[in-house]
Structures are given as C-alpha cells and as structure tokens.
C-alpha cells in the first residue's frame, strides 16, 4: 500500500464534520472494473422487474462474498483512502464490513425505503450517546455520479458525531431541523470517509439511473468483524502483501501486535503516539 499523508486541514475537517471527501480516489479504469464486478454480483437484482409501490424491492444491500471478486479484493488496501483511515484511527485496524449498495430509480410520490437516521456499529445501544469513542471509519466509493440531491447517496448530519443526545425529528418530518443535512455532490471515482458516530441515513434515488456504491468499513482489531466476512484466503493473501493480510484478519490474536501497519506507519513517519500504562509524578 502506497503512502498518502493526511493533511492537517483534512484532519481538522474530519474532526469537525465527522466525514471527509476524497476526490478522484479511483481512476476511471478502476471504476470500470469495479462496476463490472458489481453488476455481476447484482445481476439478479438488475434483471428483476420494478415493483413501483414497494421501494424496498428496488434497493440492493449485498454484503457477503464481495471479496471473491479480484477487483473488490484489491480495494481492501486502496492507497488513496486506506492510509487516511490508518492515520485517523491507528495501525491497529482490520476490515470490519463490506457492502454493495445499488438503488434503482424511485418514484417521487412513493415513500423512500429505510429513511432511518442512525449511528454505526451499534455501540450507543450499550453506552448511550454521551462520550462515545471513534472506533470505526467507513469508506464509500462512488461508481456513478451524484450531481443532485436525492440521487441515492447516503445523507450525513454534519457535526453530529459530537452530539450527546438522539436526533430530534418533528412529527411527520423525515429529517432533523437542528443539524445541517448533507447530501453530497460526487462524481464516479470520488470517495468519502465517515466515522461511526455520525448520524446518517439512506436517501431515495429520484434520478433516472441506478445509483452504485461500495462501502468498506474499518475498525480496531479488538472489534469483531461482521459475521459474513470470510476468513482470509491464504493463497490470495500470499500475493497481496502483509498490509492486506492484516486488514483481512491475518493476525487472529488481538494481543499480537499489528506488525504490518505498525511497520508501514513507522516507515512513513506517522506512528501513533505511545500510550503509557503508568507515569512518574
């Protein structure tokens, strides 16, 4: 994995907003390969007839088996985005989730599917909304353009990762009024990172084309990955390098140091600050 430094203004933006846009994260050749792979995985969904009054039938959220596609396997350690995740979290991370999200056009007069604001990784259910830690970051890769609102992109509540209470929705409304709701304008090849604490939701696709994205989530290694992520294939990982091996769960014991990314961070002069157990006073 190549090194891309996290610029101070990027860190500040992520810390303040809870998300960060990375323009041209993928070149057009890579977008083409990913689209071909995604369309193969979504073939049944793309061929089935539309059900106008049931928007949930026009939305595909596919999670298992994505890494069997070579193009999607290569995305695990993508050099334009994953180095930023390492610098925002630490080298002690692994892949936590994968998902393919395709949405066919919806009719504007039909209620949108799964318009449910939430935070990821479910830790508020156990810890509440106060003093939540940043423990995971997702990368959303765009395979189609999102030039207008309601084009099928995930909608974010800017700065809500610092919120210490639930979002407040007026009766009959679908969006909160006391936060800035961001429906990002993005092009195919763009990506954005967002952390687990930020409130976000699915948006309808009122465009004339199928919207297509991939999302890869990363978390600390002491967090169990989603159950559908298969154990790493030794034969594939042997040619992928030690960083990909770590990200796919190659170090099964969490007490084993994450050597691959520890060495990568040290080599590029971005090691995490040491946290001592004790200090002399």
Closest by CA to 237, choosing from 70, 83, 31, 25, is 70
Residue 255: pLDDT over 80: yes
Q: Is residue 158 domain-resident?
A: yes
Using 50, 70 and 90 to split pLDDT, how confident is the model at 254? confident
Is residue 189 over pLDDT 70? yes
Amino acid 113: pLDDT: 63
Give pTM, 2 decimals: 0.95
Q: Say if 55 falls within a structural domain.
A: yes
Per the structure, the count of domains in the chain is 1
In this prediction, residue 207 carries a pLDDT of 92
* Cα-based angle 26, 32, 38 (whole degrees, multiple of 5): 100
Please report whether residue 117 resides in a domain.
yes
Distance set, CA 67 to CA 143, 236, 251 (Å): 17, 10, 18
- The arithmetic mean of pLDDT across residues 40-69, rounded, is 89
List, in order, residues 6 or more apart from 267 with CB less than 8 Å away. none
Tell me which H or E stretch contains 237: helix 234-238
Work out the percent of the chain whose per-residue pLDDT is above 70: 99
Instruction: Establish if 235 belongs to a structural domain.
Output: yes
Domain membership flag for residue 272 = no
For the chain, the farthest-separated pair of C-alpha atoms sits apart, in whole angstroms, at 70
Does residue 203 fall inside a structural domain? yes
**pLDDT score at 114:** 62
pLDDT of residue 107: 80
| Average pLDDT score over residue span 174-189 | 94
- For the chain, the average pLDDT equals 93
- Evaluate if residue 53 carries a pLDDT over 90: no
CA–CA separation, 266 and 277 (whole Å) = 21
Is the model's pLDDT at 277 over the cut of 70?
A: yes
Is pLDDT of 240 > 70? yes
Residue 232 has pLDDT above 90, yes or no: no
pLDDT confidence of residue 233? 72
Q: Let me know if residue 1 belongs to a domain.
A: no
pLDDT tens across 70-124, in order? 999 999 999 999 999 999 999 999 999 999 999 999 887 777 666 789 999 989 9
pLDDT at 51: 79
In whole angstroms, what is the distance from residue 237 CA to residue 25 CA?
23
Q: Give the CA distances from residue 213 to residues 126, 142, 271, in Å, rounded to whole numbers and listed in that order.
A: 30, 5, 31
pLDDT for 45 equals: 94
- Is residue 3 in a domain? no
pLDDT reading at 190 higher than 80 = yes
CATH number at residue 207: 2.60.120.620
Give me Rg for the CA atoms of the chain: 19
Contact 52, 218 (CB under 8 A): no
- 117-156 pLDDT per residue, tens: 999 998 999 999 998 999 999 999 999 999 999 999 999 9
Which candidate, 195, 163, 196, places its Cα nearest to that of 178? 163
State the residue range of the domain holding 75. Answer: 8-267
CA angle 93, 97, 98 (to 5 degrees): 125
Q: What percent of the chain has pLDDT over 90?
A: 77
Reduced to 3 states (helix: H, G, I; strand: E, B; else coil), residue 105 is: coil
1-48 residue pLDDT tens = 999 999 999 999 999 999 999 999 999 999 999 999 999 999 999 998
């Amino acid at each position: 994995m190549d090194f891309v430094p996290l610029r101070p203004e990027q860190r500040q933006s992520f810390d303040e907003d809870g998300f960060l846009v990375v323009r041209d994260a993928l070149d057009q050749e890579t977008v083409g390969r990913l689209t071909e792979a995604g369309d193969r995985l979504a073939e049944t969904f793309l061929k089935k007839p539309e059900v106008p009054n049931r928007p949930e039938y026009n939305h595909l959220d596919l999670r298992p088996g994505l890494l069997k596609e070579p193009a999607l396997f290569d995305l695990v350690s993508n050099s334009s985005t994953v180095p930023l995740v390492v610098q925002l979290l630490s080298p002690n991370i692994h892949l936590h989730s994968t998902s393919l999200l395709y949405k066919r056009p919806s009719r504007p007069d039909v209620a949108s599917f799964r318009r449910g604001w939430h935070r990821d990784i479910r830790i508020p259910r156990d810890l509440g909304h106060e003093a939540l830690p940043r423990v995971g970051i997702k990368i959303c890769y765009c395979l189609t353009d999102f030039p207008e609102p309601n084009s099928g992109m995930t909608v974010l509540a800017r700065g809500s990762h610092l919120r210490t209470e639930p979002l407040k929705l007026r009766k009959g409304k679908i969006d909160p009024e006391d936060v800035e709701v961001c429906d990002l304008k993005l092009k195919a090849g763009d990506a954005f990172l967002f952390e687990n604490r930020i409130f976000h939701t699915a948006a309808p696709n009122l465009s004339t084309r199928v919207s297509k994205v991939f999302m890869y989530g990363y978390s600390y290694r002491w967090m169990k990955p989603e159950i559908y992520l298969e154990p790493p294939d030794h034969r594939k990982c042997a040619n992928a390098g030690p960083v990909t091996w770590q990200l796919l769960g190659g170090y099964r014991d969490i007490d084993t140091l994450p050597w691959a990314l520890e060495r990568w961070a040290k080599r590029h002069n971005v090691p995490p600050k040491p946290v001592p157990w004790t200090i002399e006073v």
